[in-house]
Structure 1
């Protein structure tokens, strides 16, 4: 290993005279070893690698352990720096002097090992150098700094680097990345392929990074790029677009063609802040906005994002309290059969009456409930309450309950529905569960299995907001829905938009051919009602035929059944 010189692996007094006391010994040791030859003989066999150098920096002694560690032998009187260079050692150590009697350095051997060197001043002006192989410690420290899967630096290292740059007042850009649709890859193809995909993503990010940039994996499918230096918004936009494009390109892994995307959140110092935690939070807020606006894009941090997040946090805290204190209530909107003009069911609509906020719109709190995972508990409350209320109605009247896409991630959904039916005594065929296309997008096969389990219970299933998704028709081939609910945007556009009327007509005809009921939502005028009837829809729901009402009003409406015209007249619509 290393270079081989003709000289012996160590020097003796025959090769070159040594000082009388080459190493500082204790008095007992000096008495026991009065002869330099005996002392050097002991040093030769010492397990600790030792070198001696004179005041001029020339090597006067190298023991066997040092020779073995360095991997080469030394010529007599060779300069210390020359010895290290001839052995392929990287780095150097300054020799001690009167102002600094002890010096330290870390060198790198030709085989990559790390060696700590301690040099102590000797009485004659020379130096004694002891070498310690610290490769194992260095490797362990490096592992602690890096993500074991991708080899990128980890969160700890990123924070440390970010902190040093900020403390030095350096400008920088921080880009937080999150992979879109990665979870479905992990769930469907398995974690080994998911891990391989993460490594490929890391490689692609490495091609975007420039000298001085730090690319980190924070865990899961979260990555961050730290870019020191002052850059304009336009310059960073170019990089962000490249990241989104590069990460979003197809991956061919073990026979699978995998498509994912990347969302990016960007913040810059000192413009957006000069604190580690603040900048990391800003990047996350911008990333959150990027994902909320459709994924596969980038967003720069704006101060209003923090304000909106604080408001969202306040809603989350209030939601948790509302769930604990049962501050929610249900309103029921009539569903009318156009053939008989009679109420045949109600849709249960969630309401939150806050003590100080008043009536909070579902558009405001449902997204927060979904993001925080509270939608599971809230959705179960709605289901159980609706079943318990509906059992008081005539046996022919159904109740519709909306299910969040996130509720389909719970494999015990069918058991929850079964429990709600059993505890309330409601017949399964009187419960109609409404889902949107979003529930089917991420993991269609799993959702279809759950839908089949629900159908086996006897529960009816309808697709809400039909026509707004790009693959709604495809799902009709995979699952026999009981009802299609035409989105209200088409109903409201029927008067002035021929295309909206054509869509309503097509959906009604599709439902008729497949034996599926069609409900038009959002009917607010007599003209819309007439148009819906003419297009062939079977049912209608909207303010014109009945606003959402309390349970007591729903019961009163069912006690004395009335035709649509009577309902409209009574409510002054």
Structure 2
């Protein structure tokens, strides 16, 4: 790539200067006494995405004065020699650190700037991203076109780092960076702004579909398998996209893309979302709900209700499932569908889940001795090494025998760090606790987990039970799951039974247990005695 020369008073042969500067790996810029760029080497052109003409020192380093005025302004610097002044960290706009060399100190020449990139990936840093984005937005105002920002967050990167080590993690980040580069065009800016966070500034966007195509490509490329030093690694990417509107400035774009990323991660891994106006209000609602949730946890505003499950061979209630309830003083009854995901995201689920477990075990001690209590354990709780000890403590304090406790998990608990989760499940089973898989059939790899761990029970998701009324796939899946459980010697609970017809179908498929409004709605602990005696 040729040296980009606007005007320069060269002190060496131009061809030699070109060759030397273009061979440097670091981006190099020089400025005239008016603060305008006079020279940019090949690395600088790549670093700035080709956007060079018209740049000034103030554009790149807002809030800082050109070199020849530093001494007068009293800004801190350290001189390593008469002709070499070094500044580290003051030039936040382009890079997290920048080195400034004065080649012509006697003539008070403006500085030669050598910019530091991300050492690991060679990408822009956070502050360089802001400068690149400001330039791209300004260029669109003058030349037309639009800019899109893509915020990228790697899924399961932490797991790779924790299990395979930081060396493999660094290799993975380099490979991810290469794949992002291959998805982008020459003029696009790419930055790494955190451990596993990247941002792409997409230029030349004609319509939102251009941005969606790039986001699709990023999700697909990053999600492909990696082979790193003999290890096969699979990760994913969540992407939030914001396409610039006339009123949007650089900060607006980054904020909107970040909001879209949050929605993408809420929807599941390996997805992208494009910013929509309503996302702003949704985030405010989420923040308010989080505040209320933290208050509810501190003030113990939750309650536990219990839904019976019935043995279809004896037609007797043999236990209850513990279900958390939250009656907010202003919002009213808040659905677990709304607050449980937020509790998991914020980490509050560990404290809340432990309280539910202890409460359920203590309540179960007031029931007939043959009855069990089932408690849902969140995937987040399985990430804690203290889960087994927490369960042991709950049993010891309540006096509940281990065989009367049933732990329910969803497939989500097994998606991350499967080996550790399986070890925890085996430890719980060894204590005599029953383990069941909840919402069976809704995940993509449920069958493989039945091979890895011998569950005591599988629970057929309510969507198949209720969908079987119309025949088709739901009925076929219901039959298949019931037959599978029967052949493996596992108990089968059908959830969501609400009618006599559904109950009859469940019986005909030889399910062992049933749970639903038809056989008993969730009830308070105080209502159980009356229910059992009715």
Structure 2 length normalisation: TM-score? 0.78
Deviation at 1:259, TM superposition (A): 2.7
State the distance in 2 between where 1:340 and 1:314 align: 48
Q: Which residue of 2 aligns with 1:482?
A: 456
- CA deviation after TM superposition for structure 1 residue 290, in Å: 2.2
Displacement, 1:385? Answer: 0.8
8 Å Cα contact 2:307/2:522 also seen in 1: yes
Q: Which residue of the other structure, out of 120, 132, 144, is the alignment partner of 2:83?
A: 132
2:181 alignment counterpart: 206
Q: Which residue of 2 aligns with 1:342?
A: 316
The answer as to whether partners of 1:145 and 1:156 remain within 8 angstroms in 2 is no
Name which one, 1 or 2, has greater alpha-carbon Rg.
1
For residues 279 and 305 of structure 1, the distance between their equivalents in structure 2, rounded to whole angstroms, comes to 13
Contact 1:145/1:157 (<8 A) preserved: no
Q: Which residue of 2 aligns with 1:535?
A: 509
CA distance in 2, matches of 1:94, 1:309: 43
Aligned equivalents of 2:212, 2:37: Cα separation in 1: 43
Cα distance in structure 2, aligned partners of 1:103 and 1:311: 46
Structure-to-structure mapping, 1:80-95, within 5 angstroms: 83-85=11-13, 88-89=16-17
Q: Alpha carbons of 1:272 and 1:452: their partners in 2 closer, same or farther (altered >3 Å)?
A: farther
| Structure 1 residues 162 and 428: alpha-carbon distance in aligned structure 2, compared to 1, 3 A threshold | same
1:147 is aligned, of 105, 118, 139, to: 118
Q: Relative to 1, partners in 2 of residues 1:199 and 1:82: Cα closer, same or farther, differing over 3 Å?
A: closer
Q: 1:148-163 to 2 correspondence within 5 Å?
A: 148-163=119-134
Q: Alpha-carbon deviation of 1:310? A: 1.2
1:192 and 2:163 equivalent? no
In the superposition, relative to structure 1, how do residues 103 and 366 fare at CA in structure 2: closer, same or farther (>3 Å)? Answer: closer
Displacement of 1:536: 0.6
- Unaligned 5+ runs, structure 2: 1-7, 22-28, 45-65, 69-80, 100-113
Query: Which residue is 1:313 aligned to?
Result: 287
Distance 1:340 1:547 in 2: 19
Q: 1:6 maps to what in 2? A: none
CA shift for structure 1 position 551:
0.5
Q: Do 2:437 and 2:459's aligned partners in 1 also have CA atoms closer than 8 Å?
A: yes
1:227 pairs, out of 180, 184, 202, with: 202
- What is the rounded CA distance, in whole Å, between the counterparts of 2:526 and 2:247 in structure 1? 54
| Aligned counterparts of 1:133 and 1:535: Cα–Cα separation in 2 | 84
Instruction: Give the Cα–Cα distance (whole angstroms) in 1 for the partners of residues 389 and 418 of structure 2.
Output: 20
State TM-score, norm by structure 1. 0.73
User: How many residue pairs were aligned?
Assistant: 460
**Equivalent in the alignment of 2:233:** 258
CA contact 1:146–1:153 (8 Å) conserved in 2: yes
Counterpart-to-counterpart distance in 2, 1:439 and 1:280: 32
Task: Confirm whether residue 215 of structure 1 aligns to residue 172 of structure 2.
Answer: no
Q: CA RMSD in A?
A: 3.3
- C-alpha distance in 1 between matches for 2:470 and 2:31: 86
Residues 209-258 of structure 1: per-residue CA shift (max 9 Å, x gap): 43443211011211001234553212223322332233233322212233
d(CA) in 1 for partners of 2:12, 2:316: 97
Partner of 2:416: 442
Deviation, 1:81, is 5.5
Which residue number corresponds to residue 176 of structure 1?
151
Distance 1:390 1:94 in 2: 77
Instruction: Give 1:17's aligned residue.
Output: none
Tell me the equivalent position of 2:440: 466
Contact preservation (8 Å) 1:214, 1:226 = yes
The Cα offsets for residues 341-376 of structure 1, whole Å up to 9 and x where unpaired, read as 111100011100000111111111111111111111
Q: 2 CA distance for matches of 1:94 and 1:294?
A: 48
Q: Which residue of structure 1 aligns with residue 77 of structure 2?
A: none
1:416 maps to which residue?
Answer: 390
Tell me the alpha carbon deviations over residues 402-457 of structure 1, each in whole angstroms, 9 at most, x when there is no partner.
11111111111001111111111111111101001111112211110110111122
Task: Find the partner of 1:370 among 344, 350, 353.
Answer: 344
1:455 correspondence with 2:455: no
Taking the aligned partners of 1:539 and 1:329, their CA distance within structure 2 comes to 26
Q: Is the contact made by 1:105 and 1:117 (CA closer than 8 Å) also made in structure 2?
A: no
* Secondary structure of 2:237's aligned partner: strand
1:518 equivalent among 484, 492, 499:
492
Contact 1:106–1:117 (Cα < 8 Å) also in 2: no
Aligned counterpart, 1:295: 269
- The alpha-carbon deviation at position 514 of structure 1 amounts to 2.4
- Quick check: 1:347–1:399 contact (8 Å CA) kept in 2? yes
> How many Å separate the matches in 1 of 2:408 and 2:466?
21
Greater mean deviation of Cα atoms: 394-403 or 464-473: 464-473
Counterpart selection for 2:466 from 492, 499, 503 = 492
Distance in 2 (CA, whole Å) between partners of 1:155 and 1:300 is 22
The verdict on how the C-alpha distance between 1:347 and 1:86 changes in structure 2, with shifts beyond 3 A counting, is closer
SS state of the match for residue 480, structure 1? coil
Separation of aligned partners in 2, 1:249 and 1:355: 48
How far has the Cα of 1:553 moved from its partner? Answer: 0.9
SS at match of 2:397: helix
